[in-house]
Amino acid sequence: MTEHLLDVQGLNKSFGDNHVLRGVDLIVPTGSVTVLIGPSGSGKTTVLRSLNALEIPDAGTVRIGDVSVDFGAKPDRRQITELRAQSGMVFQSHNLFPHLSVLRNVTEGPLVVQKRPAAEVNAEALELLRRVGLAEKAEQFPYQLSGGQQQRVGIARALAIKPRLMLFDEPTSALDPELVGEVLAVMKDLAADGWTMVVVTHEIRFARQVADQVLFLDGGVVAERGTPAEVLDHPKEERTQRFLHRLIDPL
């Protein structure tokens, strides 16, 4: 494996006339955590979704491990599927499968797509649920869980396909404040275990404690990047300062 698990060059994406990404570059060393911050509409979600081709950029390359896709060169379905298999995605609104039990949510990918043996998959899924603290909820349906628990199942589901990279899009911003901690704790755990993660979040404390690098996105470009100390505590760019100021003191 290369030293940089994720390497993104020149991402460009327009929705109609709206030029949303204007050349985003991003390098994520293996085993490190990258936090994306930025104002609403700056393109954070679009960047993240481009990494597993939920959004197809107009141009730019994404390399995860040894799988590289050049979106400018009209990749075919097989390339996209292969790229997608490299990362697990955790959504803001968990998007759990409501008609499947918690366990089946986690096993669906490995069983149905990867066609791995059921006994092995079930054992692994239970282990993942134990890891996110939900082993005893395996047989429940998603609606029977709290928001924080649902989000943790979402994390287990993403881990179950054995991705190399974990992507999180504001995993705590739809949660009641008292449930945020349990989700961040699981993410911290993953980081400590050496998972490579790209996280869109406005949890500045989490970024300070866990991130290796912080990127501030504004208007579809990376306006500032560096260590948490650099970007969060001593931002050079005025727009970063303004953004952080608003975040800390919304009034």
Partner 1 sequence: MDQSTVELIRSSLGPLLEGMVKGTIPLTAISFVLGLLLALVVALMRLSPIWPVSAIARFYVSVIRGTPLLVQLFIIFYGLPSLGATIDPWPSAVLAFTLNVGGYASEIIRAAIISVPRGQWEAAQTVGMNYPTTLRRIILPQAARVSVPPLSNTLISLVKDTSLASTILVTETFRKAQELAGPTFEFFTLYMVAAAYYWAVCLVLSFAQSRLETRLDRYVAS
Ligand X SMILES: Nc1ncnc2c1ncn2[C@@H]1O[C@H](COP(=O)(O)OP(=O)(O)OP(=O)(O)O)[C@@H](O)[C@H]1O
- In whole angstroms, the minimum distance from the beta carbon of 107 to partner 1 comes to 10
- Of 4, 7, 19, 54, which lies in the binding site for partner 1, with binding defined by CB under 8 A? 54
Spatial separation of the C-alpha atoms in residues 161 and 198, rounded to whole Å? 17
Is 45 near Mg ion (CB under 5 A)?
Answer: yes
- In whole angstroms, the minimum distance from the beta carbon of 53 to partner 1 comes to 8
- In whole angstroms, the minimum distance from the beta carbon of 44 to ligand X comes to 4
- For residue 1, give the 3-state DSSP assignment: coil
What residues does 67 pair with on adjacent strands? Answer: 64
- In whole angstroms, the minimum distance from the beta carbon of 50 to partner 1 comes to 13
Spatial separation of the C-alpha atoms in residues 126 and 230, rounded to whole Å? 40
Is 67 near partner 1 (CB under 8 A)?
Answer: no
Q: What six digits make up the tokens of 203? A: 């949890």
Site string for partner 1, 145-184 (x = CB under 8 A): ------------xx-xx-----------------------
Residue 249: how many other CB atoms lie within 10 Å: 7
- Of 98, 177, 194, 250, which lies in the binding site for partner 1, with binding defined by CB under 8 A? 98
Q: What residues contact residue 120 under an 8 Å CB cut-off, 6+ apart?
A: none
- Of 30, 61, 67, 97, which lies in the binding site for partner 1, with binding defined by CB under 8 A? 97
At position 175, the amino acid (one-letter code) is L
**Residue 121: left if φ>0, alpha if ψ -120 to 50, beta else—which one?**
alpha
Is 201 near Mg ion (CB under 5 A)?
Answer: no
Spatial separation of the C-alpha atoms in residues 163 and 129, rounded to whole Å? 16
Residues that bind Mg ion (CB under 5 A): 45
Residues that bind partner 1 (CB under 8 A): 52, 54, 81, 84-85, 87-89, 91, 93, 95-100, 108-109, 112-114, 141-144, 157-158, 160-161
